[in-house]
Amino acid sequence: MKKKLLTAAVTGALFTFGSFYAGTGTILAGDNGPNGPNYNGNETIKNERLHSYEEMVSYLEKLDQRSEALQLEVYGESVKKRDLYLAKFGMNEDNPTILFLTQQHGNETLTTEGALEVIKYLSSNGKNVKEILENVNVLIAPRLNVDGAEGDVNFSLEDYVSGTHTRYNANEVDLNRDHVDRNQPETKALHENVLQKYQPDYMIDLHHQGTQTTLGDTGELVSGSILYPTNDEVDSVVREQSKKLGAVVYNAVQSKGYGLLSKYPGGSAQTISRNGLAAEYGISTLLLEMRGMADHYREDYVLGQKSNGYLIQQAVTAMKASLNALADGSIESADTSFWDTLPESNYDGE
């Protein structure tokens, strides 16, 4: 049994990620790029800097109160009876609809921090925001696994590095393997009250992967990985649109000094949202995996907070690029040929 390396959180510390990186321009590769820094067993992990559930809800409610564009909806609840929130923008039936889903795994946290920044951005009155919302319907479901993210579960987290976040929901079920049976209240609510109700055309499912993921066998660490639906029952047109969405994200992230993406070597089972949602609903889905996790029982999966800024920015970049490409129609001309040569992820961890 591993000894927990962090036994207490610093109380009262609230960290606003937007101020951490806003206005700083491109962050160059290096100590804050895809090649570092790593968690090496003695770096402080400050997960209290992430939005807790209560802080996330408060943040969303404040934005909802001051924004006419944002509609905040509760679409279900978790095993532990926490409300699940959906941020909605637009809803013009003539426009394409995209869904951003974060934190199916409770220890994959920075995707939600990025989503909150995008919700804040779409709640503003900028010219670009107006153009997006005139042409795209946007759904953002931040933090599906609200119980796992709080560590409020029916099993021990003693073997975890910090003991604060877990992949699984309160019933110790992987929500991203529950998209066929839908036995868990979180996935059941997502399907019935979001996917079936709003029928999105596109979805980006944002996750995290281990810290030592490399670009093929080059040994070069990546900042993330992407993949389209690979299940055989997915319609070819749906898959092609997924590849185009991937091209938009790839080009946007690669243009940043910190961005380096590989092709995720994922499975083809329909229980995985990337595959199941594409096959069942005809949604063009894209998986975006980002480097490192907030907590895990494997130390080589955990990344300390020094890399948070650029990883949150990577999520924001991917989401904004997708919105702009849908708004101006440029997604239709996206070149998908890069998929043929994009190296698959390798993993150099333990």
| Structural tokens at position 341 | 């040569």
Instruction: For residue range 178-194, list pLDDT tens digits in order.
Output: 999 999 999 999 999 99
The pLDDT value recorded for residue 17 is: 31
Q: What mean pLDDT is reported for the chain?
A: 88
| Structural tokens at position 67 | 């924004």
Instruction: For residue range 97-147, list pLDDT tens digits in order.
Output: 999 999 999 999 999 999 999 999 999 988 999 999 999 999 999 999 999
Instruction: Report d(CA 323, CA 98) in Å as an integer.
Output: 8
The pLDDT value recorded for residue 308 is: 86
> 189: closest CA among 226, 150, 141, 258?
141
The pLDDT value recorded for residue 22 is: 29
| Structural tokens at position 196 | 């079936």
Amino acid, res. 172: E
Is residue 304 very low, low, confident or very high in pLDDT (cuts 50, 70, 90)?
Answer: confident
3-state secondary structure of 213: strand
What element of type H or E holds 102? Answer: strand 97-102
Other C-beta atoms lying within 10 Å of the C-beta of residue 185: 19
Instruction: For residue range 226-284, list pLDDT tens digits in order.
Output: 999 999 999 999 999 999 999 999 999 999 888 999 999 999 999 999 999 999 999 99
The pLDDT value recorded for residue 117 is: 97
The pLDDT value recorded for residue 47 is: 58
Is residue 54 very low, low, confident or very high in pLDDT (cuts 50, 70, 90)?
Answer: very high
Is residue 349 very low, low, confident or very high in pLDDT (cuts 50, 70, 90)?
Answer: confident
Question: Could you give the strand order of the β-sheet that contains 224-227, starting from the edge strand earlier in sequence?
Answer: 70-77, 83-89, 137-141, 97-102, 202-209, 284-291, 224-227, 261-263
Instruction: Report d(CA 266, CA 288) in Å as an integer.
Output: 11
The pLDDT value recorded for residue 303 is: 85
3-state secondary structure of 232: coil
Is residue 61 very low, low, confident or very high in pLDDT (cuts 50, 70, 90)?
Answer: very high
List helix spans (H) across the chain: 17-21, 53-66, 110-122, 127-135, 146-150, 185-190, 196-198, 236-254, 273-281, 308-328
What is the secondary structure of 273-296 as a DSSP string? HHHHHHHHH--EEEEEEEE-BS--
3-state secondary structure of 313: helix
Instruction: For residue range 6-31, list pLDDT tens digits in order.
Output: 333 322 222 233 322 222 222 222 34
| Structural tokens at position 137 | 């319907």
What is the secondary structure of 178-194 as a DSSP string? -TTT--SHHHHHHIIII
User: Which residues are CB-contacts of 25 (< 8 A; sequence separation ≥ 6)?
Assistant: none
The pLDDT value recorded for residue 32 is: 39
The pLDDT value recorded for residue 307 is: 79
Instruction: Report d(CA 65, CA 14) in Å as an integer.
Output: 21
Is the pLDDT score of 5 beyond 50? no
Is the pLDDT score of 164 beyond 80? yes
Instruction: Report d(CA 81, CA 245) in Å as an integer.
Output: 34
Is residue 46 very low, low, confident or very high in pLDDT (cuts 50, 70, 90)?
Answer: low
Amino acid, res. 17: F
User: Which residues are CB-contacts of 22 (< 8 A; sequence separation ≥ 6)?
Assistant: none
Region of 229 please: left (phi>0), alpha (psi -120 to 50) or beta: beta
The pLDDT value recorded for residue 30 is: 33
Look up tokens 């021990």; give the residue: 156
Other C-beta atoms lying within 10 Å of the C-beta of residue 182: 16
Instruction: For residue range 190-223, list pLDDT tens digits in order.
Output: 999 999 999 999 999 999 999 999 999 999 999 9
The pTM of the full predicted model, rounded to 2 decimals, is 0.89
Contact (CB, 8 A) for 226 and 261: yes
Strand partners, 213: 347
